[in-house]
Amino acid sequence: MNRVIEKSDRLLMETLQRGRQMSVDQLVDGLGVTATAVRQRLDRLVAAGAVTRSEVRQGRGRPSFLYSLTEAGVESMGNNLTALARAMWNELLQLEDEIVRKRLMDRISQRMAEAFHGNVSGGTYAERLESLVQILRENNVVADVEVVEGTSLPVLKINGCPYPGISGPDHHQICDVEQAMFSSLLGQPVRLTECRCHSAEGSCTFSPQTEDAPLTVSETAIH
């Protein structure tokens, strides 16, 4: 659901969170506004995919409707997943068994790739890269396709860091997870050839692992 929730819509959604399924009359009572105002907000939220409408029939009269939040609507209301993810990631890094830690990180990258696989389209690497960049942008990641002089394939440039608080000069494990995820989504191995921790531009570059896209940052410099 790619939509900025207005303050009045958020109040309605908070009321639905408390009541689970509610009628227009119940929402009117809970919000203290007119039925017309409630219906207008509901129409916007249903169209945005944040609220679902269920028909209820009672006898021979006109059907009534009950409204509830969709999964996307619940997610859009805000959560504390960032703090949870940071805590879980830090615990993962503390695992002493390197094999177990590596296996878990591989599974995380696979799970992340699975979440995007159905949306990345294109028959070639370049087409899939364009598709991937669009999806990343829709998920608030500032990403670009960049053509590097002397290479035949474009590269993926991530500006800033999508995981603040998790990555850093001494913690590049999340870069390994991203590298595996992007390789899976693009159908071709990519390497982290420029890291924001060592770049004046503050960006990370993932390049296709081919002879015409050589590494510009050594593994020891990055990892």
- Interval 78-135: pLDDT, tens: 666 778 888 899 899 999 999 999 999 999 999 999 988 889 999 999 999 999 999 9
Bridge-based pairing state of the strands 203-208 and 51-56: unpaired
Residue with tokens 């995380």: 108
- Smallest CA-to-CA distance from 145 within 160, 132, 155, 136 is with 155
Average pLDDT over the chain, rounded to whole?
A: 84
Q: Is 213 buried (19+), middle (13-18) or exposed (0-12) by CB count in 10 A? A: buried
Question: Tens digits of per-residue pLDDT, 26-63?
Answer: 999 999 999 999 999 999 999 989 999 999 877 777 78
Whether 49 contacts 1, CB under 8 Å: yes
Considering the segment(s) 98-222 as one domain, its CATH architecture is 2-Layer Sandwich (3.30)
Q: Which residues contact 106 (CB under 8 A, 6 or more apart)?
A: 180
Are 7-76 and 98-222 the same fold in CATH?
no
Whole-angstrom distance, CA of residue 77 vs CA of residue 79: 7
Look at residue 213 in the predicted model and tell me its pLDDT.
Answer: 40
- Which CATH entry fits the domain spanning 7-76: 3.30.70.100, 1.10.10.10, 1.10.150.120, 3.40.718.10? 1.10.10.10
Q: Where are the domains of the chain?
A: 7-76, 98-222
Count of CB atoms within 10 A of residue 174's CB?
A: 19
CA 90, distance to chain mean position in Å, is 20
Count of CB atoms within 10 A of residue 112's CB?
A: 17
